[in-house]
Amino acid sequence: MTLIAGRVNQHLRALDVRRDLLAVADLIELCFASTMDADGREYLRQIRRAGHEADLLRWLPGIDESGQAPVSGLVWEEDGQIVGNLSLIPFYRLGQRVYLIANVAVHPTYRRRGIARALTSAGVEKAQNQYGREAWLQVRSDNMPAYELYCSLGFQERARRITWQVTPALVEQGNPPSVVELIASRRRSSDWLQQNSWLIANYPIEVAWNLPISIPEYQPGFWRDLKLFINDNPIRHWAARKDGQLLGLLTWQATHTSSDNLWLAAPPDSEGEAIGALLPLARAALSPARPLALNYPAGRGEAAFQASGFKQQNYLIWMSVSFK
């Protein structure tokens, strides 16, 4: 039983990773299968592997005898089964602990009974009790009932982001567009100050803390490039210019997930031209076996992304609540 806002709830309890993982994985798949990407499916495989190989759990950093791990959560148990789930993941933002609320799932048979509200309310309370400065979550733009629920619990919208993706495809190796100067192995050092400014504008601290982007690593320099090479973390940059004017820059970063990442540094007034020039170049220069994903502010450059062969993978609204 769990105490929430002074009341005891007999159905709500903390996640026990030693016995709940398989049921939680099944519930998440049931609720999100239609919108789950390759990384989401891999996440479920890892949960199920841990659930089947219980001996692995004792090697989790920070796990204690009660089965609690640093990545914790809550479940709703009713009629002998887990019908609700919420994951609570700690991060650090500007040196302060924040929590990401994720995988809020309720079995279809048990919906419209306030379970999602109870789980989210308890998750916020737990984040605050564990000295979190804020609680964050992401909700799909087409899930307005969930959006309205989170608003009613005090969450405020902070950003809207779209992840654009192109799947593997062979690309003709033609000549680069005339407006582009391709910098294959290094870029002009003089581009960095502008690139840094544009990256910060397109990936502000409100979202960058929860994205796999590390802007300082993109600064040109021999020792930095050598470190990336030694750590097997390849990064490439391209710059788009028109009549000698810098339109934008694109960074490619390899990953160990289902798709490699692209990061676009461009201002709103030239991003359409930059996207139209840089994305085809990246597709032509990189391995056709790897999908490419690019996270960008919603409502910007959408026609250019589509014209470059990229499709909308997800459209998420980022929301947060602060604790005083």
Each of the 324 residues of the chain gets a pLDDT tens digit; together they read 454 554 557 899 999 988 899 999 999 999 999 888 888 898 889 888 888 875 555 444 333 333 344 468 999 999 999 999 999 999 888 788 999 999 999 999 999 999 999 999 999 999 999 888 999 999 999 999 999 999 999 999 999 999 999 987 544 444 445 555 544 335 688 999 999 999 999 999 889 988 999 999 899 876 666 665 666 668 899 999 888 889 999 999 999 888 999 999 999 999 999 999 999 889 888 888 899 999 999 999 999 999 999 999 999 999 999 997
- Report the run of H or E that residue 16 belongs to, with start and end: none
Query: For the chain, how big is the Rg over CA atoms in Å?
Result: 22
pLDDT in tens, 291-315: 999 999 999 999 999 999 999 999 9
Intrachain domains 2-154 and 163-315 with the same fold: yes
CA 138 vs CA 9, 203, 299, 315: distances in Å? 26, 16, 17, 10
Q: In whole angstroms, what is the distance from residue 27 CA to residue 62 CA? A: 26
Dihedrals φ, ψ of 158, to 5°? -115, -30
Structure tokens at 275: 């996207």
pTM for the full predicted model:
0.85
- Of 2.40.50.100, 3.40.630.30, 3.90.79.10, 3.30.360.10, the CATH number of 2-154 is 3.40.630.30
264-272: list long-range contacts, CB under 8 Å, 24+ apart: 264/202, 264/294, 264/296, 264/301, 265/194, 265/195, 265/196, 265/198, 265/199, 265/202, 266/198, 266/202, 266/240, 267/198, 267/201, 268/300, 271/300, 271/301, 271/304, 272/301, 272/303, 272/304
| Domain residue ranges in the chain | 2-154, 163-315
Fold of 163-315: Aminopeptidase (3.40.630)
pLDDT at 232: 60
Q: In whole angstroms, what is the distance from residue 257 CA to residue 260 CA? A: 7
